[in-house]
Amino acid sequence: MPTGRDAAPLDARIDVGGFGYAKGQASIGGASGAFDYFVTTSVQRIDGYRDHSNGNAFRANLDLGYQLSDDAVTRLYVFGTSTNQHIPGEVNKAEALDRPKAANPVWIDQNQQRNVDSIRVMDKTTVALGETTLDFGMFYNHRHVDHPIYQYLDYTVDDYGGFLRAVDDRALGSIRNRLTIGVTFLNGTIDTQQFVNTGGHKGALTVSMVDKPKNFLVYAENALHLQPGLALIAGVQFLDASRFRHDRFLDDGDQSGDPRYSLWSPRAGILWSVAGDAQLFVNVSRSAEIPSYDANVVTSPNLKAQRATTYEFGTRGHRGAVGWDVSFYRSEIRNELQCLTTAPWALCSTINADRTVHQGIEAGLDADLPLSASGDKLALTAAYTYSDFFFRHDATYGDNALPGIPKHYLRAEALYKHSSGLYAGPNLEWAPGHYFADNANTLTVDPYALLGFKLGFDAGKHWSVYLEGRNLTDKHYISTVAIAGVADATSEIFNPGIGRAFFGGVRTKL
């Protein structure tokens, strides 16, 4: 995010589009002596492509800075949001493809929504001490969620924490060394109540509990540059976390508990600058993910931490008019946290899968190809992922593919850019193959291709304007899946994608 010292004095834009979409956004920034400020705010509303999907949102951010000295600066950040969103719900596959605008009637009857009000306050101070830079600060978050779904959820989150980070970058003889060490703590309270949902109103109480998560994280990483362009990198992270829960509603049994997790995550790698702006990299790492408080529900009280060993190698760089970033990876995972739809209209239930593998390719390409001496060019961008995710000798699912993600996925765009600032060109989103919606691999999601087009003007000065068409062929497709253990044609786990729509906007910047 920019600060008042580098932001434009005024930056404003308005966007409008299909299905009642409208958004206004503005920011101001400036500096006076040791002080600087940056304020941005936005207001958004939408009727929604599907029935019962209208919503609105308001966001405001404040960044105040004070230069304590030539070597120290402190910044105060305040972030506020208020969102109100109706939820159309998942439907079965036939409904999603034949009647994509229709909401699930149960969601309408229950007036399902997600309404969130939140504020975050943080102070960060940066001090330069010769070759060492210190960052330290504190933060506080407050969030209230009013969420009528299969039941009426009403919960308030308050958490607070602090952090300290030191980066020492210096020469050790003829060798450059960069050491990073840090510590973060995060504590909080989540006060949760659930009620019977009677048409979007609170009925009888069904759940009342208090969660008090605690997290303590310490980490270190060292990059030793053995020679210009060659660095050996090693690091380690330790997380100590607890998830205390006090159940205040005992009609369905006592769900209180105090699970604790202590996890080490080491990593090592090599970074080699082979020529100019081209790099090769190799990494091996261990990672850990603990269940969130949302996952520690009554249906899964004994969840284990997810652990993974990941191997990665690739290349990134820029040469002439062409830039690239390509990586190949394989993650061998134990106790993968997987959220499965187990009943219609209910929250998914988080389980631990046994052994799984995530392996694939992530590739990005961009090129600015000159077309004329006057500065016209063809700008090409593409992002491709190959995702081969599967169970490994699972007692229930064998070596089945993991559901919910296309094996191949491509986003690409070609823009003709005139030297005057005019630009135009098509774009493509393509998932070319079927992929599964359930662990049992009994139900598939169909492939799709979406064609779009952009037209605009941006001379890099004080204003710009654009028009954009999305899904121009009005393709009926499935955008996301609420994955299940076993699914069939009646399973209501599919979210239809948005149909043909047009958007436009104008931006001014001083």
Could you give the CA distance from residue 156 to residue 170 in angstroms, rounded to a whole number? 46
Tell me the H-state helices in 248-399.
none
- Tell me the torsion sign for CA atoms 103, 348, 94, 105: negative
The chain-wide mean pLDDT, for the chain, equals 94
Residue position matching structure tokens 């493509």: 428
Asked if pLDDT for residue 302 goes beyond 90, the answer is no
Taking the model in full, what pTM does it have? 0.92
8 Å CB contact between 297 and 347: yes
Give the model's confidence band at 1: pLDDT under 50 very low, under 70 low, under 90 confident, else very high.
confident
Q: How far apart are CA 447 and CA 435, in angstroms?
A: 8
Q: Write the pLDDT tens digit of every residue in 243-292.
A: 888 999 888 888 888 889 999 999 999 999 988 789 999 999 999 998 87
Number of H helices, E strands in the chain: 2, 28
Q: Which residues contact 105 (CB under 8 A, 6 or more apart)?
A: none
Burial class (CB in 10 A: 0-12, 13-18, 19+), 12: middle
CB atoms within 10 A of CB 462: 11
Under a CB-based contact definition with an 8 Å cutoff, are residues 179 and 234 in contact? Answer: no
**Would you say 323 and 367 are in contact if contact means Cβ atoms under 8 Å apart?**
yes
Residue 473 pLDDT more than 70?
Answer: yes
What's the pLDDT score for residue 348?
Answer: 74
Q: Residue 88 in contact with residue 50, Cβ under 8 Å? A: yes
Query: Cβ of 327: how many Cβ atoms within 10 Å?
Result: 16
3-state secondary structure of 472: coil
Answer yes or no: are the C-beta atoms of 403 and 438 closer than 8 Å.
yes
Q: Which pLDDT does position 345 carry in this prediction?
A: 59
The β-bridge relationship of strands 435-436 and 422-431 is unpaired
- Residue 299 clears pLDDT 50, i.e. is over it: no
Lowest mean pLDDT among 11-25, 90-104, 299-313, 335-349: 335-349
- pLDDT tens digits, one per residue of 431-469: 999 999 999 999 999 999 999 999 999 988 889 999 999
443 closest CA partner among 397, 485, 382: 485
